[in-house]
Amino acid sequence: MATITANVPLLDGVFDIIIDGEKIVSVTPSSVKTDLYAGPTLFDIQVNGYGGVSCCKVAEGDTAPLSKIRDIFVAQGVGLWIPTVTTNTHEELLDIFSKLRDELDADPSLEKSIPGLHLEGPYISKMDGPRGVHNLACVRPASWDEFVQYQEASGGRIKYITLAPEVDGNIDFIKKCVEAGVVVALGHTDLDSESMEQAVAAGATLSTHLGNGAHDMIQRHHNYIWCQLASRDTYAAFVSDGQHLPSECLLSMIHAKGLERSVVASDCCKLGGMPAGVYGCVEKLPNGRLVATGTPNLSGSSSNLRECVEQVVNLTDLTHAQGWKLGSIQAAKAMGLPDKLGIEVGKEASVTVYRRPDNDYKIDVVETWVAGRKLFSAE
């Protein structure tokens, strides 16, 4: 049994949080004065890689890429996260999912931090702009038989998939995913209002990195961004790294979608935490922006979720508590895990303890707990 005494912004006060096993068993007001803060641990639903390690292509001989990222993330206050596997050939996707399954099978404790996997593509738009930097040669219509093979290769761990609903056959595919318990997100899409309505009716519940994976120029009134912002039946994930969306755009989108339907995700890549430079087909600029080498086109993010939570507060009018909620509880809800996170009795004891220097948007992580285990301590 352990006790954390800290300011809890989501509860607006100082509380004693008692952990027993994997659960929070007591949350009571405290009269203790402390400079510590605590919140449900940050939960990143879109992680392509970090610290020189990729989730999209496991390096030969690397048997523990997920563990390496986990160990970096807990020091950043990110206790939960979902590895993302992006558009590739059928054979490559089978190989990647098999390797991720092998690591997760070998270390059951790792799954406490990783409640599932994300397949982004290959069932997306072929159009330049919406396709982003996904390999055109590997983009294809959805195939249920193919997806079942990926799910089997992963050991049943694909938690959600991002696709373009306007592609022929994808609405029926959405229905099958939902029936199988897989969350469906819309992204890298040129959808219109009709295909949006059909996707929602079929069970789609999320938009992936809304505002990105898009044309530079779109029709001002009738376009896929407005359609997704207007939906009251879906969540939307926003990448608040200061690169993907300008501050006025980020603020407007979050308020248009609504705080209860918004999520902050990082979309971080292998080059997160790495020095600036050219790394093959991706270049990291001195300001941290990742682009396809030789182009201005974004190629993911180099920021982790702690930095994105800091920036969503810094770049908008959100409070610290609101920003933290977008990066934790809202992410769990979007993944269909509403009971997983929260500073409440019965919730999973996944908690990040931190300080706020000068009481501004910056966060210094002190401890990260996942399912009752302290995985990081700075002291």
- 108 preceded by cis ω (within 30°)? no
- 213 pLDDT band (50/70/90 cuts)? very high
pLDDT of residue 61: 66
Dihedral-angle region of residue 366 (phi above 0 means left; psi in -120 to 50 means alpha; beta otherwise): alpha
Least confidently predicted of 58-67, 81-90, 215-224? 58-67
Flag whether pLDDT at 62 surpasses 80. no
pLDDT of residue 60: 67
Mean pLDDT over residues 346-354, rounded? 98
Angstrom distance (rounded) from CA 349 to CA 372: 5
pTM of the model: 0.97
Q: Which two tokens stand for residue 144?
A: 């249920």
pLDDT of residue 296: 83
Q: What is the dihedral of CA 360, 366, 370, 371, to 10 degrees?
A: -100
pLDDT of residue 58: 77
Mean pLDDT over residues 117-126, rounded? 98
The residue behind tokens 């896929």 is: 224
Cβ neighbors of 372 (< 8 A, separation 6 or more) are 19, 20, 21, 22, 23, 348, 349
pLDDT of residue 174: 98
* pLDDT tens string 172-195: 999 999 999 999 999 999 999 999
- 358 pLDDT band (50/70/90 cuts)? confident
Percentage of residues in the chain with pLDDT exceeding 90?
A: 90
φ, ψ (nearest 5 deg) of residue 333: -60, -45
Angstrom distance (rounded) from CA 326 to CA 312: 9
- Domains present along the chain, CATH in parentheses: 1-40+341-379 (2.30.40.10), 42-335 (3.20.20.140)
Mean pLDDT over residues 210-217, rounded? 93
